[in-house]
Structure 1
């Protein structure tokens, strides 16, 4: 597999930049305000979040809209697509499609998952997106299998549904997933799915959060093994990522860091989430804003594959204690762009 011998700054300047619509602004900031801020800051695309479609539908129609009211949701998605066109933004991906794979055959949950998939494809057509993000399932529900062959079959079926519309699937490791918490897990699954329209959604937080850090320890690091061994395994993992994943199988790299929680997160399920899931929802600042993860290591490894596709900011910053943080949406988007450019400078091998 051909590799980019050097990470030149000039090649990084050509990378298209996206922002996840769900990860900017306050509840009082309308989707229009958030999209205007993203566009003004120089981003050229968004990841469109399902909750934002629902919120926009309620604003558009001046009524409560159910999560399964797809006619109204599709109408809103179509209007969001028009708004993005006006602002010069591409809808690069629809997200987050979760709890899909691994339900027992014949179960009501599996039937509902595939019905939801068909409806999300309608949403993609309505808004103009051609990429669906699928997060690796958290099977804390013991009815969900961790059998890799069953996971693969479900994703193959979804891939084939998407292929009929010339759509693609970006599979992401969520660091709290019980069957695929690491980049290598999802890469092995994508390889086994073996469909031309299935690739990876990689994420600096998810990768470092599964293999290097642990929000449930006092140090914020994995403590089951010596720190020297953690570092050794981490370096080996990044080297393997850089040398084994084809660039064309990476569809995007999401960018965020993590705060070390001021108090370690308890090792128990809260609001349906394992500790790393709770951490993901509230403790994710943009780069260089107080986080501690080795996100530059992840970024370099991904770039060393030769990948120069979408970099997308996905930030869930409720402050170091996870209780909330106030900020101006326009300034926040500009800071995100500045820190994205700082990241490029820091990971480049050359200054040109």
Structure 2
């Protein structure tokens, strides 16, 4: 498929701020987006409003409604996200409950017409997540095998959040992907989370780690050498705002229950190409590596969280849709995107859905 723009539904205004999902989808259609990442919270909001509340049956009914909304607007649902706090749970009874929840997510994904579920690394307190990486890997193998039994196959995109408890870098998440070694288990790369851990630190007066540029360059060189393009199942694009003050106690974004990078992410992500709002991360450099050197082709998904999204102002979805469209145009121009080029995606899906076993296709390990 060609390079096409997708946007997270949460990027167009949070549902609890009074902006309905159809209203947000209207903005995605109006501003030329081809697809959406469906945020589970938007689906849950619909289910809660149905008689009986957020039952499994109402989750499925909500998925049918959302599929209809998207079909009416010619929007493809490229993934359902995020399935939070799954891997390495110390409480194995909770792990078993999460497995049952995943079975419901499979049903919702099939109804929504997507084959992809996004898994962010957990940021639960350290006493709730094991240090045993073998346990974390086995947990991922368990759901990957479950996904392989689905028809069509369900894929998983594993993302390192830059404030993750055990996994906070793309290198750590890629190592797990390699060791899981299943064709339906790949990596999600997010420009904010890559730069937000390797390059940036909102608690520093400079907003940057020491020797940030060299450290990032070395990390990107490792990425080129390690990660094949067809193992990148999802590429999310966002910048971050340079804060005027360090994000420490006393800052308006400070939350004692959140790591600083998480509070920064929730309040101060920006679309690509917004230096006028304070954007300062080297997003263009990261994307040039992923597109020109790694050879990624496919969806470029804009995933932005920002304090503006919590406003009940009725202009929020329109404003964010317009900003997202301007960002996509900047991406096309700056990266010289060929929107007619084909990608590996259809070949990979054919391999997954025609295989009768769990043939492993990862050949590159760190």
Common fold: TM-score over 0.5: yes
Q: CA deviation at 1:208?
A: 0.1
Give the superposition deviation at 1:297. Answer: 1.5
Give 3-state SS (helix, strand or coil) of 2:18's partner: coil
2:115 paired residue number: 130
1:168 aligns with: 155
Alignment correspondent of 2:206 = 219
- Give, in whole Å, the separation in 2 of the partners of 1:182 and 1:64: 41
In structure 2, distance between residues paired with 1:324 and 1:23: 13
Mapping of residues 201-220 of structure 1, within 5 Å: 201-220=188-207
Contact persistence 1:317–1:325 (CA under 8 A)? no
Report the aligned-residue RMSD.
Answer: 2.4
Give the distance between the partners of 1:179 and 1:73, measured in 2 at CA: 31
The alignment status of 1:46 with 2:33, answered yes or no, reads no
Deviation at 1:175, TM superposition (A): 0.3
How far is the alpha carbon of 1:197 from its aligned partner? 0.4
Give SS of 2:161's match: coil
Residue 333 to residue 15, structure 1, CA distance change in 2 (3 Å): same
Q: Does structure 1 conserve the Cα–Cα contact (< 8 Å) formed by 2:200 and 2:212?
A: no
CA deviation after TM superposition for structure 1 residue 278, in Å: 1.2
Mapped to 2, the partners of 1:149 and 1:176 lie a distance apart of 21
Aligned partner of 1:83 in structure 2 is 69
Give the deviation of 1:331 after TM superposition.
Answer: 4.0
Query: Residues 62-116 of structure 1: CA distance to partner in whole angstroms, max 9, x if unpaired?
Result: x5734xx211111111110111111101111000111000013x63221222122
> Could you tell me whether the CA contact under 8 Å between 1:139 and 1:145 is conserved in 2?
no
Query: What TM-score does the superposition give when structure 2 sets the normalisation length?
Result: 0.83
> Which 5+ residue runs of structure 2 have no aligned equivalent?
341-366
- Which range moves more in the overlay, 330-339 or 157-166? 330-339
1:195 and 2:195 equivalent?
no
- Offset of residue 219 of structure 1: 1.5
Please give the alpha-carbon distance, in whole angstroms, between the structure 2 residues aligned to 1:65 and 1:211. Answer: 42
Tell me the distance in 2 between the aligned counterparts of 1:121 and 1:265: 38
Question: Does residue 339 of the first structure (1) align with residue 321 of the second (2)?
Answer: no
TM superposition score normalised by structure 1: 0.86
In the alignment, the residues of structure 2 paired with residue 186 and residue 136 of structure 1 have an alpha-carbon distance, to the nearest angstrom, of 8
Aligned to 1:308: 297
CA contact (8 A) 1:54 1:65 kept: no
- Structure 1 gaps of 5+ residues are 1-10
In 2: Cα distance, 1:312 partner to 1:196 partner: 22
Q: 334-343 or 181-190: which moved more?
A: 334-343
**Residue 233 in structure 1 maps to residue 215 in structure 2:** yes
Change (3 A) 1:297 1:84: same
Q: Distance in 2 between matches of 1:349 and 1:129?
A: 25
Aligned length: 327
